[in-house]
Structure 1
Amino acid sequence: MNIRKRFRTHPEMHTGALNDILFILLLFFLIVSTLANPNVIKVSNPKAKADTKAKQTVVISVNKDQQLFIGAEPIAIENLESKLQEYLSKETEKPTVVINGDSTSHLGTSIKIMQVIKKLGATPVMAVDQN
């Protein structure tokens, strides 16, 4: 004699709406992450055989008119050391400063920036595009 029920109910959760919401959130974050670019200043980087990969603590940009920017904030070269010291004092490990220089900018400006970075104890890295 078979006493067991023939049709048992299996508890199921419908996840169709949850999948749609997760897909929309994923799409939103992908679009936002491509728009959030830390290198806001448009410069034409010089070419090199290998691309520079470093953890960017601070990005200093030099455009073709020799204007300096820390992030997107314009700064004079005379105030660079004090302003850079503010950013580097927040770091616990050895900071890396990326110089994003235009290929038509003067080399002397980049060398002055590197000297200030070395004086503050950080590692200067020049950003280049890969050939």
Structure 2
Amino acid sequence: MNIRSRLRHHPEVHTGALNDILFILLLFFLIVSTLANPNVIKVSNPKAKSDTKSKQTVVVTVDKDQALYLGQKKMGIDQLETELKVFLAKETEKPSVVINGDSTAHLGTAIKVMQIIKKLGATPVMAVDNSSGR
């Protein structure tokens, strides 16, 4: 006499919840990767009460030693105008150039950079830190 059941139960792993978790992680990493800006030189920005957002065509950074960076490329003030012409020639609308200046940098260097940007027909925008870390 055959006592064993003819239908055997096969164990299954339910992956419905696992798929949800993977989808949420994928969304999280996609959002975080769009927020990260690899073209940033670390500087201590001056503080401000309000923040103005601008479409960044190019970023010019002035660090505490008055060194100028166009994106990640270090250059002198005399090279800045010719390098900026290359970037701004690709734009169809009125471009804006973000100046990311260190709070300990001399104001004269930032003003020279602003004058070069205005001379090329772009809009200079000064980046400031809007956090309330007083």
Separation (CA, whole Å) in 2 of partners of 1:30 and 1:96: 25
Cα distance in 2 for residues equivalent to 1:72 and 1:18: 39
Unaligned runs of 5+ in 1: 1-14
Range moving further from structure 2, 74-83 or 47-56 = 47-56
Q: Is structure 2 residue 27 aligned with structure 1 residue 26?
A: yes
Distance 1:95 1:128, change over 3 A: same
Q: After superposition, where does 1:39-50 map in structure 2 within 5 Å?
A: 39-50=39-50
What RMSD in Å do the two structures reach over aligned CA positions? 2.0
Q: Is the CA contact (8 Å cut-off) linking 1:38 and 1:71 kept in structure 2?
A: no
1:33 Cα shift? Answer: 3.3
What is the 5 A alignment of 1:1-131?
Answer: 16=16, 19-34=20-35, 36-130=36-130, 131=132
How many residues end up aligned between the 2 structures?
Answer: 117
1:21 Cα deviation from its structure 2 partner: 4.5
1:72 to partner: Cα distance:
1.2
Q: Deviations over 1:64-117 (max 9, x none)?
A: 000001111111111000000111111110000010000100111001000000
Q: CA deviation at 1:32?
A: 2.8
Matched to 2:114, the amino acid is M
Partner Cα distance (1:80, 1:31) in 2: 32
TM-score in terms of structure 2 length: 0.77
Kindly provide the CA deviation profile for residues 42-78 of structure 1, in whole angstroms up to 9, marking residues without a partner as x. 1111112211211111110100000001111111111
Structure 2: state its 5+ residue gaps.
1-14
Q: Which residue identity is paired with 1:28?
A: F
TM-score relative to the length of structure 1: 0.79
- In the TM superposition, residue 27 of structure 1 has moved relative to its aligned partner by 3.1
What code does the residue aligned with 2:31 have?
A: L
